[in-house]
């Protein structure tokens, strides 16, 4: 990015951060935040193709910075980047170019919706029609989507969504691109979490929603290296939330308890935990650029270690700061709520156990 673009991004991030507390009190889609971010170029397809460092490192740095400003905005931005990556990887080039042109020209936001509903939350989304019969023409105009998805970040604000849905025949789920239009019902009563409150991660119901394109084949969402890179991108967002928690805790301690031994010890431990986060981002970027055979294991380890570092930051911050920053709902409290919810979604222990099982079997 040019110096002018970097300056513009810094100003946009300041705008995003300034509105974070209000959006947390009164949850709604962060339209003003994305209006500030669009002119910086970080939402464009191919935004990180040029500049210092690898494209992956620049992308992660931007996502980390956005998440540090507002975790909810970062969560939606994470999904947007995931969707762009998947379209570039799995949509035929002419159609992908047209989609990317729409994103740039119309300022479209994208998302990826993968979570199925619970037993009492409706029937999981399914593709009506025969996906195999339309492979090659994207399925446009012939396939429909019916049913429910949950944890749909950006619902009610994004324009296009990649939706994981099974076909009428048994088998792995497909990845369908749909317009989020009037056929997509957004249930704003479902998402009541204390974290990521403005991420609009609602339950949605599809009513014969037209499929714009099918990406790849059955099981596309789990295809590597993209599946692992999606997970690593999310860990980069967690790093931004760690930055928010660490920065707000250190500021609180420097203003109120700088001379206390406990504050000094906590600050040292917080700084060490942030260094762990930095090290894992660097290591993961090298792993992604190298032998991708071990990328999935690296993505699990990266998430586990960044989540562990986040836990240490929050534990030290709580012990040293006491209840005040949490009782008043400030930046530290928001970062804690956002991190705890988002990390839980990934259920890291079963993933680590699987890695361990594979290692031992070898």
| Least confident range of 58-62, 79-83, 135-139, 295-299 | 135-139
Same domain, residue pair 246 and 273: yes
Same domain, residue pair 169 and 293: no
Confidence (pTM)? 0.94
Task: Specify the pLDDT at position 313.
Answer: 97
Give the whole-number percent of the chain exceeding pLDDT 90. Answer: 80
Same domain, residue pair 317 and 301: yes
Q: Where are the alpha helices (DSSP H) in the chain?
A: 3-18, 20-25, 31-37, 55-69, 71-90, 93-106, 131-134, 226-256, 261-289, 295-321, 324-327, 331-346, 348-361
Helix H or strand E encompassing 201: none
Mean pLDDT to the nearest integer, 100-112: 96
Task: Specify the pLDDT at position 347.
Answer: 85
Task: Specify the pLDDT at position 156.
Answer: 84
Mean pLDDT to the nearest integer, 59-81: 97
User: Where among 196, 221, 246 does a domain terminate?
Assistant: 221
Q: At which residue do the structure tokens 């991708």 appear?
A: 292
Same domain, residue pair 117 and 212: yes
Task: Specify the pLDDT at position 4.
Answer: 56
Task: Specify the pLDDT at position 254.
Answer: 94
Band of residue 137 on the pLDDT scale cut at 50, 70, 90: low
Mean pLDDT to the nearest integer, 298-325: 94
CATH of the domain at 158: 2.40.110.10
Q: At which residue do the structure tokens 């992956």 appear?
A: 56
Task: Specify the pLDDT at position 83.
Answer: 97
Task: Specify the pLDDT at position 146.
Answer: 97
In the predicted structure, residue 301 carries a pLDDT above the cut 80: yes
In the predicted structure, residue 293 carries a pLDDT above the cut 70: no
- 91 or 289, which is more confident? 91
Task: Specify the pLDDT at position 130.
Answer: 82
Same domain, residue pair 231 and 355: yes
Tell me what the pLDDT averaged over the chain comes to: 92
Task: Specify the pLDDT at position 289.
Answer: 83
Same domain, residue pair 208 and 248: no
- Listed in sequence order, the residues at least 6 apart from 331 whose beta carbon sits closer than 8 Å to its beta carbon are 20, 21, 244, 245, 247, 248, 325
Same domain, residue pair 216 and 168: yes
Task: Specify the pLDDT at position 6.
Answer: 57
Same domain, residue pair 232 and 356: yes
In the predicted structure, residue 344 carries a pLDDT above the cut 90: no
Task: Specify the pLDDT at position 292.
Answer: 61
Mean pLDDT to the nearest integer, 240-264: 95
Same domain, residue pair 216 and 232: no
Number of domains, the chain: 3
Largest distance between two CA atoms of the chain: 71
Band of residue 21 on the pLDDT scale cut at 50, 70, 90: very high
Band of residue 315 on the pLDDT scale cut at 50, 70, 90: very high
Task: Specify the pLDDT at position 201.
Answer: 96
223 exposure class (CB count in 10 Å sphere: 0-12, 13-18, 19+) = middle
Mean pLDDT to the nearest integer, 55-61: 93
User: Where among 106, 131, 160 does a domain terminate?
Assistant: 106
Band of residue 1 on the pLDDT scale cut at 50, 70, 90: low
Note down the domain range covering 19.
3-106
Same domain, residue pair 228 and 217: no
- Residues 29 and 26: their CA atoms lie apart, in Å, by 10
Task: Specify the pLDDT at position 59.
Answer: 95
- Residues 174 and 159: their CA atoms lie apart, in Å, by 20
Same domain, residue pair 239 and 351: yes
Mean pLDDT to the nearest integer, 100-123: 96
Mean pLDDT to the nearest integer, 69-96: 95
Task: Specify the pLDDT at position 140.
Answer: 54
Same domain, residue pair 33 and 119: no
Task: Specify the pLDDT at position 3.
Answer: 55
User: Where among 221, 239, 259 does a domain terminate?
Assistant: 221
CATH of the domain at 66: 1.10.540.10
């Amino acid at each position: 990015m040019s110096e002018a673009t970097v300056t513009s991004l810094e100003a946009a991030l300041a705008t995003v951060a300034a509105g974070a507390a209000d959006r947390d009190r009164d949850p709604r889609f962060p339209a003003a935040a994305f209006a500030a971010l669009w002119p910086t170029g970080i939402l464009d397809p191919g935004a990180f193709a040029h500049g210092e460092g690898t494209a992956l490192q620049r992308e992660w740095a931007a996502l980390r910075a956005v998440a540090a400003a507002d975790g909810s905005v970062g969560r939606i931005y994470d999904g947007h980047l995931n969707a762009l990556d998947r379209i570039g990887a799995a949509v035929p080039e002419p159609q992908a170019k047209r989609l990317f042109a729409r994103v740039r020209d119309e300022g479209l936001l994208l998302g990826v919706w993968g979570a199925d509903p619970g037993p009492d939350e409706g029937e999981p989304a399914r593709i009506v029609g025969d996906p195999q019969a339309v492979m090659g023409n994207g399925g446009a105009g012939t396939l429909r989507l019916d049913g429910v998805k949950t944890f749909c970040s950006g619902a009610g604000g994004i324009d296009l969504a990649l939706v994981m849905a099974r076909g009428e025949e048994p088998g792995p789920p497909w990845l369908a691109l749909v317009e989020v239009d009037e056929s997509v019902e957004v249930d704003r009563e479902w998402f009541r979490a204390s974290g990521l409150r403005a991420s609009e991660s609602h339950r949605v119901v599809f009513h014969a929603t037209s499929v714009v394109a099918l990406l790849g084949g059955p099981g596309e969402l789990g295809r590597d290296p993209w599946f692992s890179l999606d997970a690593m991108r999310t860990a980069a967002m967690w790093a931004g939330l760690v930055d928010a928690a660490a920065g707000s805790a250190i500021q609180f301690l420097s203003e109120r308890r700088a001379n206390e031994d406990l504050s000094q010890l906590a600050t040292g431990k917080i700084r060490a935990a942030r260094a762990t986060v930095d090290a894992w981002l660097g290591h993961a970027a090298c792993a992604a650029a190298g032998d991708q055979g071990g990328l999935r294991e690296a993505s699990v380890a990266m998430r586990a270690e960044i989540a562990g570092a986040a836990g240490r930051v929050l534990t030290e911050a709580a012990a040293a700061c006491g209840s005040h920053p949490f009782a008043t709902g400030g930046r530290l409290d928001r970062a804690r709520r956002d991190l705890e919810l988002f990390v839980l979604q990934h259920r890291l222990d079963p993933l680590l156990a699987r890695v361990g099982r594979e290692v031992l079997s070898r």
